[in-house]
Homo-oligomer: A and B are copies of this chain.
Amino acid sequence: MTGTPEPPRRRGRPPRDQARQTQARDKLLRAGVAMLTERSFGAVGLDEVLSAVGVPKGSFYHYFGSKADFGLALIEAYAAYFARKLDRWFLDESLTPLARLRAFVEDARAGMERHHWRRGCLVGNLGQEIGTLPESFRDALRAVLADWEARTARLLEAARAAGEIAPSADPARLALHFWIGWEGAVLRAKLEQGPDPLDRFAEGFLEMIERPGA
């Protein structure tokens, strides 16, 4: 949900020119993602991204056909970064499934605090302004949310198998509920400049699903 992504990893050692190019592309993606977690796509100017990373406009168009293409690449970079983050918590078998969800919430909270409650979720930000974005963004954002929900549903299936939630619980439905509300919680935490909305929403959600004494 928050934080600064690492550049995508590539196998093997590229030739020097290619390495420099990859570096410039990664720098653009990192700067763009950081800006879009804080501000809207409409508010972020291309010149600002370029001057933040010292990449000339000509090079930009070498990597991306347009600002819209860049936007789609930013969604992809954020999705990859965030999938790694979810895996780190959701696949941690040293914790029970619901404790892993709590650990994710705690990590998101720490990430927002580290950025002084200014950075939220790139997907939520772009989703909010979807009416003024290229139509291609809609499918990209929906696919990212569907991926997060699928990962969360698998975690909740594990919670059900472990007896932490009721046998009658529907993991896919609960995962959807979580992500619908969680985007609201991140938005609200930015507005309140504090952790309460994240904590309140997560606690309410966990109380709703957790079996007493589990």
Closest-by-CB residue of B relative to A128 is B128
Checking B39, B173, B176, B197 against A129 with a beta-carbon cut-off of 8 angstroms, the contacting residue is B39
Interface residue total, chain A, C-beta cutoff 8 A: 41
Q: Which of A2-10, A60-68, A130-138, A156-164 contacts B (4 or more CB under 8 A)?
A: A130-138
Q: Which of A21-29, A84-92, A184-192 contacts B (4 or more CB under 8 A)?
A: A184-192
Per-position binary interface string of chain A over residues 166-189, scored 1 when its CB falls under 8 Å from any chain B CB and 0 otherwise: 000000011011001111110110
Count of chain copies: 2
| Majority secondary structure, A binding face | helix
Checking B118, B128, B182, B188 against A120 with a beta-carbon cut-off of 8 angstroms, the contacting residue is B128
Which residues of B are found within 8 Å of A177, using beta-carbon distances? Answer: 181, 200-201, 204
Residues of chain A touching chain B, judged by Cβ–Cβ distance below 8 Å, are: 38-40, 42-43, 118, 120, 124-125, 127-132, 138, 141-142, 145, 173-174, 176-177, 180-185, 187-188, 190-193, 197, 200-201, 204, 207-208
